[in-house]
Amino acid sequence: MPPAATKLRKAYVNLAHPLVVLRFEDGHEIKVSKDKVKTFDAYAGEVIKVVAIYDPSSNERDLLESIRAEDLPDAEPHETR
């Protein structure tokens, strides 16, 4: 049996786009509005796709990057929301 994956507490800051969606490997998504910080749990080795949405009424989305969970900044202890 493989070892359990390490759970990480991470943060994402959106300063440049009206709305960013973090899309995780298991299919769930977290929306981050402009000038906001979101904290979340992710697993070591998990790849998160960062997608920008400029017009919510459109289906168009721009892939900004794919990033590994461990490459994101750690959440500060006071940011556990």
> Is residue 2 assigned to a domain?
no
> Is residue 37 assigned to a domain?
yes
What's the confidence (pLDDT) of residue 72? 95
Distance between CA 36 and CA 26 in Å, rounded? 24
Question: Averaged over 53-80, what is the pLDDT?
Answer: 88
- Assign 23 a pLDDT band (cuts: 50, 70, 90): very high
> Is residue 59 assigned to a domain?
yes
> Is residue 54 assigned to a domain?
yes
Residue written as token pair 């009206």: 18
Rounded to the nearest angstrom, the gap between the alpha carbon of residue 34 and the centroid of all alpha carbons in its chain is: 13
What total of structural domains would you count in the chain? 1
Distance between CA 6 and CA 46 in Å, rounded? 10
- Domain of 30? 7-79
30 sits in the region (left: phi over 0; alpha: psi -120 to 50; else beta) called: beta
